[in-house]
Amino acid sequence: MMYSLIVTAKMNNIDPQAWLADVLARIAEHPAHRIDELLPWKWTRAGTDQLAA
């Protein structure tokens, strides 16, 4: 399962190491009903969504 997520990150032009490190750092406080935001095809690095607003 992890391999498929890493390959998916690569296919979405995301650095898998950066994505995984960010997701692991955020997942404990992230609301369960919004867990899809952490998937590679929807992921934005922590802090970048606040900068865009």
pLDDT for res 47: 55
Please state, in angstroms and rounded to a whole number, the distance separating the CA atoms of residues 12 and 45.
Answer: 14
Would you say 5 and 34 are in contact if contact means Cβ atoms under 8 Å apart?
no
The alpha helices in the chain, defined as continuous H runs, are 2-11, 16-26, 48-52
pLDDT in tens, 3-53: 999 999 999 999 999 999 999 999 999 999 999 999 999 998 875 554 344
What's residue 45's pLDDT?
80
pLDDT value at position 37? 92
Task: Please report the pLDDT score of residue 51 as a whole number.
Answer: 38
Report the candidate in 48, 44, 19, 21 with the shortest Cα–Cα distance to residue 34.
44
